[in-house]
Structure 1
């Protein structure tokens, strides 16, 4: 049944409202993970921030995931205590963690960009593929920018900063695995939540065409 002109704007408003609610919810999740007790290790502590950031990208997709991370950053920069240890304002930008903060919206976007193009359906393939997407975002985005921030603010050389950043790798892989499991569960429960792109969209369209149309 074709949507009438009066119903189409209403659907768009509902979609926009849903998107805003999801973005705000995941921004709150990133903030909650930031406020959990951190594990001190060298110049930058271990937190659950990366888990929440990768999960935001994997569940919401590239655009909404990045917006969730940006919203969290904006809320913290204007003064609300949503950064690690209850930090707020511009002070975290002068800390060795500045590179990680900058990297989070980009990492969420990269994760979502990849996941949007992955095949979905079977847990046996979805979990490892999303894990690889999160690991790629961490290795390609979070670690390099994090190392640059530490070299800038902690007085380390770039090789020293990169070497220190690699100490997070085992824990980050576990967080990426947890994010992949949660994201797969969400995708199975709400298959229309994450948009399909590229080949994944083409395969979904082919399956829809192969399915006999329901009687009107």
Structure 2
């Protein structure tokens, strides 16, 4: 599950559909809540966890598969949406960001000499920052260029919409870092047959 080899093992590839399913659940379990033009979802934390637990390459692969499955029409994006029309949605930048945050989160952990809780916390919050920066800026420019922006729409308004999701994500990301660190090190301990130093 924690392989960083250039070629994915069969057991690693089994994790791809699992995280695609988790992303689909996270996209819709709370997406009936909408702030401005932004559905409130749990996608960011599952994308972060994909990178943290699967590694940079497999985590990014899982998020790419999630995006492609949604684009071919499966209703796995927020509010049970899917299809190529999502490409012109102002929130498509968040979907793109999931690939990058899985990769970056995984890479930070892979590069660390010791995978401590601080490492996971830094990696997970870095991933969260990426999704907000990329997703929110994409949303703003999409509303300005290809979508119909609400009256009085400004760059500041785009960020105001993100305040409520940010509060939620700050909390769940901390919880996700705790879970990922424990699962990661427990898996290493079981694989090696001895305790991993904390």
Shorter-chain TM-score bucket reads 0.7 to 0.9
Number of aligned residue pairs: give it. Answer: 178
Could you tell me which residue of structure 2 aligns to residue 148 of structure 1?
137
Could you tell me which residue of structure 2 aligns to residue 84 of structure 1?
78
Could you tell me which residue of structure 2 aligns to residue 184 of structure 1?
181
Alpha carbons 2:105, 2:124 under 8 Å: kept: yes
Match status 1:93 vs 2:83? no
Rounded to whole Å, the distance in 1 between the matches of 2:157 and 2:107 is 31
Q: Structure 1's 129 and 27: CA in aligned 2 closer, same or farther, altered over 3 A?
A: same
Rounded to whole Å, the distance in 1 between the matches of 2:75 and 2:189 is 34
Shift of 1:131: 2.0
Residues 48-99 of structure 1: CA deviation (Å, up to 9, x unaligned): 1011101101101111111111111111111111111211102222222111
Residues 167-215 of structure 1: CA deviation (Å, up to 9, x unaligned): 4322111121121122112112211899xxxxxxxxx9xx9xxxxxxxx
Shift of 1:130: 1.2
- 57-66 or 180-189, which deviates more: 180-189
RMSD: 2.6
Residues 112-127 of structure 1: matches in 2 within 5 Å?
112-118=106-112, 119-120=114-115, 125-126=116-117
Rounded to whole Å, the distance in 2 between the matches of 1:159 and 1:76 is 30
Rounded to whole Å, the distance in 1 between the matches of 2:110 and 2:14 is 20
Alpha carbons 1:58, 1:112 under 8 Å: kept: yes
Rounded to whole Å, the distance in 2 between the matches of 1:44 and 1:37 is 12
Could you tell me which residue of structure 2 aligns to residue 132 of structure 1?
122
Rounded to whole Å, the distance in 1 between the matches of 2:189 and 2:71 is 33
Rounded to whole Å, the distance in 2 between the matches of 1:162 and 1:15 is 38
Rounded to whole Å, the distance in 2 between the matches of 1:21 and 1:44 is 31
2:161 is aligned, of 160, 164, 171, to 164
Query: TM-score, with normalisation over the residues of structure 1?
Result: 0.73
Rounded to whole Å, the distance in 1 between the matches of 2:190 and 2:76 is 27
Larger Rg: 1
Q: After TM superposition, which residue ranges in structure 1, 4 or more long, deviate above 6 angstroms?
A: none
Query: TM-score, with normalisation over the residues of structure 2?
Result: 0.79
Shift of 1:138: 1.9
Residues 100-122 of structure 1: CA deviation (Å, up to 9, x unaligned): 111110011111111112313xx
